[in-house]
């Protein structure tokens, strides 16, 4: 019985994940995700030309080293 509950949870989460992916992938301009993505992009990037410390911090965390750390 426990295995059946786990299987149902796994299948439900896979269906939800697939639905989330398709909600972004299928609509032109990525549907309502485009507005959210645009807001987040400008929120984090508007300060780049204004604040040098923030600009160097963003450049530093975008190095390949941090990608390797995230991967591990």
- The closest of 58, 63, 31 to 44, measured between CA atoms, is 58
- Assigned token pair, 60: 């530093």
pTM confidence score = 0.56
CB 58 within 8 A of CB 48: yes
Q: Tell me the C-alpha distance between 37 and 35, whole Å.
A: 5
Q: For 26-43, how does the pLDDT look when each residue is reduced to its tens digit (9 = 90+)?
A: 877 777 888 888 899 999
How many other CB atoms are there within 10 angstroms of residue 1's CB atom?
5
Predicted local distance difference test score (pLDDT) of residue 65: 77
Q: For 3-29, how does the pLDDT look when each residue is reduced to its tens digit (9 = 90+)?
A: 888 899 999 999 999 999 888 888 777
């Amino acid at each position: 019985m426990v295995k059946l509950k786990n299987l149902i949870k796994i299948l439900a989460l896979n269906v939800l994940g697939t639905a989330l992916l398709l909600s972004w992938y299928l609509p032109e301009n990525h549907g309502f995700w485009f507005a959210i993505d645009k807001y987040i992009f400008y929120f984090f990037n508007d300060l780049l030309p204004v604040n040098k410390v923030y600009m160097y911090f963003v450049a530093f965390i975008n190095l390949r080293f941090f990608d390797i750390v995230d991967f591990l």
